[in-house]
């Protein structure tokens, strides 16, 4: 594992320092940009709202997105397992057909 590094990212005009693994840098910077972009869009629509309320709404939106992503991931994992079972069943059927062919042609 690499040595952690300290980075500073800007999130909606606030500088945040954190220690991360070097391979996480692009992810952290992308997340900071995503939050900043959502904050800016929401702030434009709700200009009279305090920044803390806008930040809470952005956090809520990301939490909703995360819940949806987790549900989709769970469903994808179930589908993957079902596909694996079906492939195994097909493989067993192919083996049985091959054995039947060998018996019939012997």
- Residues in the chain with pLDDT values less than 50: none
Which among 28, 27, 3 has a CA at the least distance from the CA of 18? 28
Task: Look at residue 97 in the predicted model and tell me its pLDDT.
Answer: 96
Looking at the structure of the chain, the number of domains it has is 1
Tell me if residue 49 falls in helix, strand or coil: coil
pLDDT value of position 47: 84
Task: Give the Cβ contact number of residue 100 at 10 Å.
Answer: 10
CA dihedral 52, 58, 62, 64 (to 10 degrees): 100
Q: Which domain holds residue 83?
A: 5-105
Q: Are 55 and 13 in contact (CB under 8 A)?
A: no
């Amino acid at each position: 594992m690499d040595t952690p590094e300290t980075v500073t990212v800007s999130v909606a005009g606030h500088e945040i320092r954190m220690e991360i693994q070097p391979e996480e840098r692009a992810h952290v910077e992308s997340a900071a940009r995503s939050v900043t972009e959502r904050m800016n869009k929401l702030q434009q629509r709700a200009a009279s709202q305090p920044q803390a309320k806008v930040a809470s709404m952005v956090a809520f939106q990301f939490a909703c997105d995360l819940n949806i992503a987790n549900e989709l991931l769970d469903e994808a994992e179930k589908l993957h397992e079902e596909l694996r079972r079906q492939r195994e069943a097909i493989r067993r059927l192919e083996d049985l057909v091959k054995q039947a062919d060998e018996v019939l042609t012997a």
